[in-house]
Amino acid sequence: MAAASSASTALISKQSITLKNRYINPSISPNSQLSLSSKLSVTPSISLFSHNPLRRLTPAASQKKFTVSASVDAKPTVLVAEKLGDAGLDLLKSFANVDCSYNLTPEELCTKISLCDALIVRSGTKVTREVFESSGGRLKVVGRAGVGIDNVDLGAATEHGCLVVNAPTANTVAAAEHGIALLTAMSRNVAQADASVKAGEWKRNKYVGVSLVGKKLAVMGFGKVGTEVARRAKGLGMHVIAHDPYAPADRARAIGVELVSFDDALATADFISLHMPLTSATTKVLNDETFAKMKKGVMIVNVARGGVIDEDALVRALDSGIVAQAALDVFTQEPPAKDSKLIQHERVTATPHLGASTMEAQEGVAIEIAEAVIGALNGELAATAVNAPMVPAEVLIELKPYVELAEKLGRLAIQLVAGGSGVKSVKVSYATSRAPDDLDTRLLRAMITKGLIEPISSTFVNLVNADFTAKQRGLRITEERVLLDGSPESPLESIQVQIANVESKFASAISDSGEIRLEGRVKDGIPHLIKVGSFEVDVSLEGSIILCRQVDQPGMIGRVGSVLGEENVNVSFMSVGRLAPRTHAVMAIGVDEPPSSQVMKRIGEIPAIEEFVFLKS
Ligand SMILES: NC(=O)c1ccc[n+]([C@@H]2O[C@H](COP(=O)([O-])OP(=O)(O)OC[C@H]3O[C@@H](n4cnc5c(N)ncnc54)[C@H](O)[C@@H]3O)[C@@H](O)[C@H]2O)c1
Ligand SMILES: O=C(O)[C@H](O)COP(=O)(O)O
């Protein structure tokens, strides 16, 4: 049972069992003894996004014991809620149970999601707060098989510690090609003329178009798709300008595109092509006011998102002649209402969100998202994470033991606080000889936060939601770097965690300046505790620890050691620190198993022991 409880409290720990790829089926009836340690592999990997599988159990069920043989499913479950390319599905099936259920109602999605570890969607599924709430903490990753993540409630995902990844590159060319297809089709009335011919008409004069060559195209949003549209439009002989508040001018210049202001783009363009994401800043960015700034007879292409245009205002602009034509792939509501004035407008060309729909793009997107989701389920940080910092794999490998140390220091420090929950201010100091831009501490801060919060709450904390959770609890974590001379071979010399304005269960953990202070370092890849308050110790953090303060006199180590031996508690490490001989000393004892209350009582009865505490690491 010890191993199970360590798994439930420490996801990043050399001893902890990372239940990677092993999933406990919450529906199994709780009855007999669970012995995870003998059944599951011990993996010393960083599992940043893995939820603690034990948390999937209902609160009542998690109190009880489970039969491991019947309850462990070796594969996670991935719900694919929209059509995904075969190559991606095959990849997913080699790793997970894949449930392809398309066209689910919101209610059906909420029901299914509690049985899924990952969800893959395209733009047609709204992944709302209710979906995250309904998952009961099981959903670890949402994969958006495409670019736009406006259909995923990112705030709710983050609050629930659920990683969101997308597939940002594989459909760029497809979207750009569709933009160009709409541009050329619109300028030559292809859709309208086609419908007319099919209706038995032959109206050559009615469908006279306009030429593109020499015309000015404003690309709004000069990102991946916008850039590819610009390149292709230049090939058609157009004069291309772009507006993008965040795009570097030299990237635009390199392909012969001039970056201009929003108003200049509107005022001078013959054609406007929209390629920005839908955000609060871009919602209805084309509206009555901005249409009024455009050249009369402008033509508009939208393969970005319907919401960037006020669709009623576009109808008015079409009717008044400001906008001569619009070609739209995306709509505020998809599918739009059949009687939508916009769709029915004779100068509107409409396609049903086809920008990414080429064979090539869909295969590429499917592989890109399958790899990202599998990586995330494996606890890797995804390069396409949308709601978490991206940490390169090599940095992760190097930081791994420090990540363990960080979490353990947080976990130990919070256990030293009398009462535990009144913690508002934590200061973390990193002693390092690395230059500031060569040491990414976000991961360490997240893990300290995890260590601080998880022992005193039921909140699951990971890299995704650590900052949010700290903020929500009013916990302010400040960081400082203590720059050391010397070789920056290892990323960190030590990490110190200080908790201010609290009382401690172990008064000796309070430093001269009045905070609870713990310091640790990594030795030979193993986290060690090296300072408690003002006392220097050196104890490996592989197991849990007992801290005792005693009168510094001969025989103390032997007496405490005898009690532990007599009570069958295995000591892994022991270290004594003192400020001066024959005053007081702090003994830090690493133990393999938690001592019983009887053991702690006997230690407390040793006359020279002044205070003592047991801490789970
Ligand atoms: N129709 C489709 O099937 C389809 C396919 C792919 C992409 N898209 C959509 O196209 C859009 C762009 O995709 P991408 O891959 O190029 O994304 P991207 O992130 O590479 O580019 C978006 C660009 O918009 C810029 N931007 C942000 N706010 C802006 C603002 N207020 N004004 C101007 N520019 C702004 C950003 O700086 C960025 O350069 C997304 O909304 C995406 O969902 C649609
Ligand atoms: O944002 C995107 O990637 C596109 O809009 C494609 O959406 P889809 O996956 O629904 O085709």
Distance of CA 304 from the midpoint of ligand 1 (Å): 6
d(CA 397, CA 35): 30
Ligand 1 contact via 453 beta carbon (within 6 Å): no
Which atom of ligand 2 is found nearest the CA of 145? 9
Ligand 2 centroid to Cα of residue 355, in Å, is 7
pLDDT at 288 over 50: yes
Instruction: Please give the structure tokens belonging to residue 248.
Output: 């570097």
Taking a C-beta distance cutoff of 8 angstroms, is the pair 227, 220 a contact? no
- Which one of the ligands is nearest to 120 CA? 2
Residue 434 Cβ < 6 Å to ligand 1: no
* Least confident range of 50-59, 78-87, 179-188: 50-59
Which residues share a beta bridge with 297? none
Residue 186 has pLDDT above 50, yes or no: yes
Higher pLDDT, 39 or 493: 493
Q: What distance in angstroms lies between residue 611's CA and the mean position of ligand 2's atoms?
A: 62
Q: Which atom belonging to ligand 2 lies closest to the Cα atom of 303?
A: 5
Q: Are residues 222 and 243 in contact, defined by beta-carbon separation less than 8 angstroms? A: yes
- Residues 231/177, Cβ–Cβ less than 8 Å: no
Which phi and psi (to 5°) does residue 273 adopt? -120, 125
Question: 402: closest CA among 368, 374, 428, 382?
Answer: 428
Largest alpha-carbon pair distance within the chain? Answer: 109
Instruction: Extract the tokens encoding 21.
Output: 């790829």
Tell me the best of 83, 103, 120, 122 to mutate to test the pocket of ligand 2, counting ligand atoms within 8 Å of each CB and taking the most.
122
pLDDT at 53: 29
Nearest to 36 by CA among 71, 60, 1: 1
Q: Active-site residue among 334, 360, 480, 566?
A: 334
Identify the nearest ligand to the CA of 121 by its number. Answer: 2
Give the ligand with the smallest distance to the CA of 355: 1
Q: What SS3 state is found at 89?
A: helix
Q: How many CA atoms lie within 13 A of 66 on its CB side?
A: 25
Tokens of residue 269, six digits: 């363009």
Q: Is the CB of residue 244 below 6 angstroms from any atom belonging to ligand 1?
A: yes
| Terminal CA-CA length for the chain | 16
- Cα-flanking dihedrals φ and ψ of residue 482, to 5°? -105, 110
DSSP-assigned beta bridge partners for residue 403 = none
Concatenating the DSSP letter of every residue in 424-445 gives -EEEEEEEESS-GGG---HHHH
Q: Under DSSP, is residue 264 helix (H, G, I), strand (E, B) or coil? A: helix
Residue 380 catalytic? no
**E-strand spans in 305-363?**
323-328, 348-350
Contact 276 CB / ligand 1 (< 6 Å): yes
Q: The tokens 């709601």 sit on which residue?
A: 387
Least confident of 73-77, 332-336, 487-491: 487-491
pLDDT score at 73: 58
Tokens of 442: 């976000």
Q: Report whether pLDDT(434) > 90.
A: no
Output the pLDDT for position 276.
95
The one-character DSSP state at 507 is G
Mutate to test the pocket of ligand 1, among 172, 275, 287, 305 (most ligand atoms within 8 A of CB): 275
Q: Which structure tokens are listed for 383?
A: 């390069």
Whether residue 255 has pLDDT greater than 50: yes
The residue annotated as part of the active site, out of 178, 243, 353, 549, is 353
Q: Starting at the earlier edge strand, list the strands of the sheet with 571-578.
A: 571-578, 584-591, 544-551, 609-615
| Lowest-pLDDT choice from 71-80, 395-404, 435-444, 478-487 | 71-80
pLDDT at residue 561 tops 80: yes
305 lines ligand 1 (CB under 6 A): yes
**Nearest CA residue ID for atom 10, ligand 2:** 123
| Percent composition of the chain: helix, strand, coil (DSSP 3-state, to 5) | 35, 20, 45
Backbone φ and ψ for 271, nearest 5 degrees, come out as -130, 140
Structure-model confidence comparison of residues 86 and 570, the more confident one: 86
pLDDT(267) > 60: yes
Res. 532: pLDDT tops 60: yes
Q: At 579, is the pLDDT very low, low, confident or very high (cuts 50, 70, 90)?
A: confident
**Cα 104 to ligand 1 centroid, rounded to whole Å:** 27
Pairing label, strands 216-220, 239-243: parallel
For the record, the structure tokens of 312 come out as 């009623």
Q: Which has the closest alpha carbon to 121: 148, 97, 95, 157?
A: 148
Catalytic, 347? Answer no
Residue 57 has pLDDT above 70, yes or no: no
In this prediction, residues 318-339 reach a mean pLDDT of 98
Q: Is the pLDDT of residue 121 over 90?
A: yes
What's the pLDDT at 390? 67
The secondary element (H helix, E strand) that includes residue 120 is strand 118-121
Is the minimum distance from the CB of 221 to ligand 1 under 6 angstroms?
yes
- Residue ranges of alpha helices (H) inside 255-355 are 262-268, 288-291, 311-320, 341-344
CA distance 380 to 134: 25
What spacing in Å lies between the alpha carbon of 305 and ligand 1's midpoint?
Answer: 9
pLDDT of residue 64: 25
User: What's the confidence (pLDDT) of residue 10?
Assistant: 25
Pocket test for ligand 1, best of 123, 166, 183, 244 (most atoms within 8 A of CB): 244
* Averaged pLDDT of the chain: 86
Residue in the block written with tokens 């419908």: 195
**pLDDT-wise least confident of 223-232, 437-446, 527-536:** 437-446
Residue 617 is predicted with a pLDDT of 83
What is the distance, to the nearest Å, from the Cα of residue 562 to the centroid of all Cα atoms in its chain? 48
Q: Are 237 and 214 in contact (CB under 8 A)?
A: yes
Q: To test ligand 2's pocket by mutation, which of 171, 172, 278, 351 has the most ligand atoms within 8 angstroms of CB?
A: 171
> Which residues are bridge partners to 531 per DSSP?
519, 536
Q: How far is the CA of 259 from the centre of ligand 1 (A)?
A: 16
Least confident of 117-121, 483-487, 518-522: 483-487
Residue 172 Cβ contacting ligand 1 at under 6 Å:
yes
Q: Which parts of 49-201 fold into alpha helices (H)?
A: 59-62, 68-71, 86-93, 106-113, 129-134, 154-159, 172-187, 190-198
- 392-421 average pLDDT score: 87
Task: Place 19 in a pLDDT band, splitting at 50, 70 and 90.
Answer: very low
* Residue 286 confidence (pLDDT): 98
pLDDT band at 516 (very low <50, low <70, confident <90, very high): very high
Give the separation between CA 450 and CA 407, rounded to whole angstroms. 6
Spacing, Cα 302 to ligand 1 middle (Å): 11
Residue 133: how many CB atoms within 10 A of its CB? 15
Is beta strand 271-274 parallel, antiparallel or unpaired with respect to 216-220?
Answer: parallel
**Segment among 6-15, 111-120, 245-254, 403-412 with least mean pLDDT:** 6-15
- Tokens 């602009």 locate to 317
Residue range 306-320, pLDDT digits in tens: 999 999 999 999 999
* Nearest ligand, CA 351: 1
From the centroid of its chain, how far is CA 22?
A: 21
- Measured from the Cα of 148, ligand 2's closest atom is 1
Please tell me the distance from the alpha carbon of residue 305 to that of residue 406, in angstroms, as a whole number. Answer: 42
Which residues surround ligand 2 with Cβ inside 6 Å? 122-124, 145-148, 171, 353, 355-357
The three-state DSSP-derived secondary structure of 26-81 is CCCCCCCCCCHHHHCCCCCCCCCCCCCHHHHCCHHHHCCCCCHHHHEECCCEEEEC
Whether 272 is in the pocket of ligand 1, judged by its Cβ within 6 Å, is no
> Which residue has 């720990």 as its token pair?
13
pLDDT at 254: 94
Looking at the CA of residue 222, tell me the nearest atom of ligand 1: 39
- Ligand 1: distance of its center to the CA of 350 in Å? 19
Q: How far is the CA of 448 from the centre of ligand 2 (A)?
A: 37
Share of the chain above pLDDT 70, in %: 87
For the question of residue 353 being annotated catalytic, the response is yes
The model's confidence at residue 381, banded by pLDDT at 50, 70 and 90, is low
Mean pLDDT computed over 454-467: 83
- CA angle at 317 for the pair 313 and 319, rounded to the nearest 5°: 115
